Amino acid sequence: MDKGFIIKDGILTGYEGEESALAIPEGVTEIGEGAFSFCKNLEEITIPASVKRIGSSAFAYCDKLEKVVFKGDPKDIDVQGRRFLGLALRRGDGGQDIKRHLP
């Protein structure tokens, strides 16, 4: 476990912590189903370019989550479910805000 992240074989399966801003470690390839569910303090998360899949309900009940920063192109990520609906998504390369919702 690294800084509260629970990671096995490149899959982030959970987080045990109280931080409001997190950066997922480079090398993680998948954010598992429900990985950040009920992280009540989470306001901002940075997702590295190595992530290629986000599981359903990965951010369920993260009521304070307002900002998701992608270090890569979010169009390259297979998103299961609708965890980012309604958020202003921003690419980590300084790109403009993404106005559309991910599937």
Kindly give the confidence (pLDDT) of every residue in the chain, 103 residues in length, as a single tens digit, with 9 standing for 90 and above: 458 999 999 999 999 999 999 999 999 999 999 899 889 899 899 999 999 999 888 888 888 888 888 888 888 888 776 655 445 455 554 433 443 334 3
Q: Is the pTM of this model over 0.85?
A: no
78 within 8 A of 53, measured Cβ to Cβ:
yes
Domains of the chain (ranges, CATH numbers): 5-98 (3.80.10.10)
- Which among 44, 8, 54, 6 has a CA at the least distance from the CA of 23? 44
Q: Cα(85)–Cα(76) distance, rounded to whole angstroms?
A: 17
Contacts of 39 (CB under 8 A, 6+ apart): 15, 59, 62, 65
Q: Cα(64)–Cα(45) distance, rounded to whole angstroms?
A: 11
Q: Cα(32)–Cα(98) distance, rounded to whole angstroms?
A: 23
